[in-house]
Amino acid sequence: MSDIPTSAQVVVVGAGIVGNSVVHHLAELGWKDILQLDKGPLPNPGGSTGHASNFIFPVDHNKEMASLTLDSQKQYEEMGVNTTSGGIEVARTHERMEELRRRMTSAKAWGIESEMLTPAQIRDMVPFVDESILVGGWYTPGVSVVDSLQAGTLMRESAMSKNALTVSPNTEVMDVEVENNHVIAVVTDRGRVECDYLVIACGVWSPRIAKMAGASIPLTPAVHQMIDVGPLPELQATGNEIGFPIVRDMDTFCYERQTAGSMEVGSYAHRPIFHHPDTIPSIEESRLSPTELPLTQDDFDPQLEQAIELMPFLGDAEMRYGINGLLSLTPDAMPLVGETEVGGVWSCAAIWIKEGPGTGRAIAEWMTQGYPEIDPHASDVARFYDNQRSEEHVIARCEEHFNKTYGIVHPREQWESRRGLRKSSLHPRTEALGAVYFEAGNWERPHWYESNAPLVEKYSEQIPERPHEWDARWWSPIQNAEHLAIRESVGMVDVTAFAIFEVSGPGVVDYVEKMAVNKCDLPVGRSIYTPLLTEDGGFKADLTMIRLADDRYRIISGGFDGPRDSHWFRKHLPDDGSVVWEDKTSDICTIGLWGPNARAVMEKVTDDDVSDEGLPYGSSKEITIGSIPARLLRISYVGEFGWEIYTEMENGPALWDALWGAGQEYGIVPVGAGVYGTTGRLEKGYRLMGAELESEYSPVEAGLARPRVKAADFIGKAAYLEARAEEPAAVMCTLTMESHTSDSGMARFPTGGNEPILTLGGDRILDVKGRVSRVTSAGAGPSVGKYLLLAYLPPEHAVEGTELQVMYMNELYPVKVAVAGSTPLFDSENQRMKG
């Protein structure tokens, strides 16, 4: 038995597609001392890679996933292990056809060739399909099958050829040693290895290893059933591993994929079946492999009938092999990539074959230079709140979304399970007003209020109907009515879902200056709205700080961004203890009070000076409302005069009651996040982290660069200065939809899910950096009487008045550039916010 080294710069655990991709890309980027372990043998150590179906459908609605997949497919192609087969998603229902038109639209956005098919065309391509049960289909010629085991071998060999990699199979990790919250060594059954970095890339077993380090990787091993049916002479006759396009029978959540002379039928239709990382059998205990468990045939039986319906020739063919294959599922169906809670311990887990090499590259870049080329916010393992990392949460959410693997998921779709995790103290008040809650991070946040339904009648002439159910799903015309009401008089918004942190101590000014683009060393009581950047000048975060005292700042960020931002801030805390970090999110309740009558309402409940002079825009101070101590911040995300009002969580209801009572004579309305996050925001052209703002774009492109750059150094400064010195490759624009009428004469309203912006000739628009123009946010602008879209456009198109098109559900609609840059479309001089 060969010994393993006693130290390595980085230990990568796992030799499946992910671990192999990681070691390859680390070596490519110059890492020299990599040790790769797996408890199984090579080349197939027995994880999920060994039984994967290995096909790649590159189109995804999600940009991050589509980018990782396309990069992976390119890498497989370069390794010579990518066989193009083409793939068809077939529709048995009209609802599915609409979804396929949506996919066609996403394909257009990412520049992936594809086309819609009639049933007869499907039959021509796949002659053993019974087209009579189909409504149509969608064909992507670039769908491929890869040899992921061979790819893994090639990638290991590439790293070894650089003398960068030692591979130790049949080596089990027994413990991870951590000191000062940083990994120092990995203990294996073949010895202890000191290391600076540990990358956990062992798929379904990853939570076990993470736990040894005191970190968490929230995934569950889950069953995906597949059977092998054959031999089938029609397939044998091709003489190929794969000679026919892969067929995804989307409405039955199944696929049929040729493997040489037989057909693999795979299913995501069965009941969710989960295993625990600790109870997966060992290699010795397994009849096949640890992740190829016995097929529970009863679960698969319903799919047999459906498979025969689509491909009658399967009926008389033999079922030769079947497994309950294990793969990794996460609470939100996205991968788990990035540094965990423990320094030096990185997660690269819950990644499927189709995105493996791309993710390997991303994490290697991230470890090497501090950021990956592809924005990773949706895959970032730091995106979860603590209670979203629990086993209970993982299982509940995975149970909910497993059968949506081939489902039709609305961009605004809400979770049903594990709701009510975190409620504002205002919840009893908002609930009494008929709040409809959406999940914001792990909070319940009112999205609109049914009690405002009468306002829809009042403003009916300004609220267009949304006749298509899809466009109106997870939406209410009440949102538009609340919008018009807050602009007319005054509204109250429960924004307690904000993530709130405080940093304090003698080193705090230097610390926040280092983190933020904009100047933070301002007088006490001033606020700072600022981007945080990665080293290459892309957005890491976008948030507001208040200088509470000489040595204390409050940081206010979005509910969805809190955990990632917290991770980023804490990672950069000085080692000398000169800055103390506190999470105040659960301590503070926040109400937004905005509208032309906001001051009148406030003046009824406080004796403090809330005039423009007493509390100018952007400033903050403590006042007393009734008897309640509160802090005001004169700021607005909806473009109206008013404040964010913070108070201790337990004072929330009393504060609400005071404002509510005072506001009655002004017709105060409760206003939901539909206005705060969409309609009000879009009319003002405010950018949102994770939508407009991501690491692939700079503040210059987003229109958030200030006239001057502060003297202090900060993360990403060099890149920021460079970006300021050059013409931006793209400019964030507000576009208006000029017609909503579809080919069938129905008014349509794009949901804002990466719909491509096209030229009048129907061509995609790419900037010089190769980034595509697509809708980052969409929503009504009730006060401007237009439907608004935000999109980055290259300078030649980012000209006000330019006419372009947006594709939605595979149809084209005229749009016009209303604003190039960050000038608000509504109240462009910001007069209303001056009060």
Partner 1 sequence: MRILVCVKRVPAPGAKIVLTDDAQAIDTSLLSFTVSPHEECAVEEAVRIAESHEGSVTVMTLGPEDAEEQLRSALAVGASEAVLVPTDGSDWDPISTASALVAAIQELESEGGFDLILFGNESADSGGYQVGVRVARTLGRPIVSGIKGIEVEADGFALRRDTPTGSEIYKVPSPAVVGVKEGINLPRYPTLKGRLNAKKIEVTRSTQDRAGSGQAMVRLVTPQVEINETVILGDGPEAASAVVDLLEELQLFT
> Where along the sequence are the contacts to partner 1 (CB under 8 A)?
1, 170, 229, 279, 281-282, 284-287, 293-295, 297, 301, 304-305, 307-308, 314-320
Residue 27 phi, psi dihedral angles, 5° rounding: -65, -40
Q: Taking the mean position of all CA atoms in its chain, how far away is CA 220?
A: 19
Do 501 and 555 form a contact (C-beta atoms < 8 A)? yes
Q: Taking the mean position of all CA atoms in its chain, how far away is CA 306?
A: 33
Give the pair of three-digit tokens for residue 371: 């950021």
What's the closest the beta carbon of residue 350 comes to partner 1, in angstroms? 22
Residue 304 or 669: the one with the smaller Cβ distance to partner 1 is 304
From the CB of residue 552, how many other CB atoms can be counted at a distance below 10 Å?
16
Report the C-alpha gap between 538 and 34 in whole angstroms: 29
Report the C-alpha gap between 350 and 218 in whole angstroms: 9
Residue 209 or 229: the one with the smaller Cβ distance to partner 1 is 229
What's the closest the beta carbon of residue 314 comes to partner 1, in angstroms? 5
Give the H/E segment covering residue 322: strand 318-329
Query: CA triplet 160, 4, 346: central angle to 5 degrees?
Result: 70
Do 710 and 519 form a contact (C-beta atoms < 8 A)? yes
Set 24, 224, 270, 377: catalytic member: 224
Q: Is 255 a catalytic residue?
A: yes
Give the pair of three-digit tokens for residue 69: 């997949």
Give residue 136's region: left, alpha or beta (phi > 0; psi -120 to 50).
Answer: left
What's the closest the beta carbon of residue 272 comes to partner 1, in angstroms? 17
Do 733 and 792 form a contact (C-beta atoms < 8 A)? yes
Report the C-alpha gap between 812 and 740 in whole angstroms: 10
What's the closest the beta carbon of residue 326 comes to partner 1, in angstroms? 11
Do 510 and 485 form a contact (C-beta atoms < 8 A)? no
Q: Taking the mean position of all CA atoms in its chain, how far away is CA 219?
A: 16
Q: Please name which of 556, 693, 582, 561 lies closest in space to residue 635, comparing C-alpha atoms.
A: 556
Report the C-alpha gap between 333 and 377 in whole angstroms: 14
Residue 281 or 505: the one with the smaller Cβ distance to partner 1 is 281
Residue 97 or 317: the one with the smaller Cβ distance to partner 1 is 317
Cis peptide before 231 (omega within 30 of 0): yes
Give the burial class of 583: count Cβ atoms within 10 A of its Cβ; 0-12 exposed, 13-18 middle, 19 or more buried: middle
What's the closest the beta carbon of residue 45 comes to partner 1, in angstroms? 14
Residue 321 or 617: the one with the smaller Cβ distance to partner 1 is 321
From the CB of residue 243, how many other CB atoms can be counted at a distance below 10 Å?
14
Query: CA triplet 549, 550, 553: central angle to 5 degrees?
Result: 55
* Beta pairing partners, 436: 448
Residue 279 or 627: the one with the smaller Cβ distance to partner 1 is 279
- Cα dist from 295 to 42, 223, 226, 319, 833, whole Å: 25, 9, 8, 12, 63
Give the burial class of 33: count Cβ atoms within 10 A of its Cβ; 0-12 exposed, 13-18 middle, 19 or more buried: middle
What's the closest the beta carbon of residue 396 comes to partner 1, in angstroms? 23
Report the C-alpha gap between 612 and 609 in whole angstroms: 9
| Percent composition of the chain: helix, strand, coil (DSSP 3-state, to 5) | 30, 30, 40
Residue 169 or 618: the one with the smaller Cβ distance to partner 1 is 169
What's the closest the beta carbon of residue 288 comes to partner 1, in angstroms? 8
Give the pair of three-digit tokens for residue 56: 């790649």
What's the closest the beta carbon of residue 392 comes to partner 1, in angstroms? 22
Give the pair of three-digit tokens for residue 9: 């710069």
What's the closest the beta carbon of residue 284 comes to partner 1, in angstroms? 4
Report the C-alpha gap between 295 and 223 in whole angstroms: 9
What's the closest the beta carbon of residue 233 comes to partner 1, in angstroms? 14
Query: CA triplet 459, 464, 469: central angle to 5 degrees?
Result: 125
Residue 139 phi, psi dihedral angles, 5° rounding: -115, 130
What's the closest the beta carbon of residue 221 comes to partner 1, in angstroms? 12
Residue 183 or 307: the one with the smaller Cβ distance to partner 1 is 307
- Cα dist from 291 to 208, 276, 324, 811, whole Å: 15, 12, 8, 43
Set 542, 561, 565, 767: catalytic member: 542
Residue 316 or 829: the one with the smaller Cβ distance to partner 1 is 316
Do 190 and 4 form a contact (C-beta atoms < 8 A)? yes
Residue 279 or 664: the one with the smaller Cβ distance to partner 1 is 279
Give the burial class of 298: count Cβ atoms within 10 A of its Cβ; 0-12 exposed, 13-18 middle, 19 or more buried: exposed
Residue 285 or 613: the one with the smaller Cβ distance to partner 1 is 285
DSSP-derived letter for residue 679 is: I
What's the closest the beta carbon of residue 297 comes to partner 1, in angstroms? 8
- Terminus-to-terminus CA distance in the chain, angstroms? 78
DSSP-derived letter for residue 421 is: S
Set 76, 139, 197, 255: catalytic member: 255
What's the closest the beta carbon of residue 161 comes to partner 1, in angstroms? 16
One-letter amino acid at 787 equals Y
Q: Is 224 a catalytic residue?
A: yes
Residue 295 or 348: the one with the smaller Cβ distance to partner 1 is 295
Report the C-alpha gap between 693 and 542 in whole angstroms: 8
Residue 42 or 408: the one with the smaller Cβ distance to partner 1 is 42
Please identify every residue annotated as catalytic. Answer: 224, 255, 542
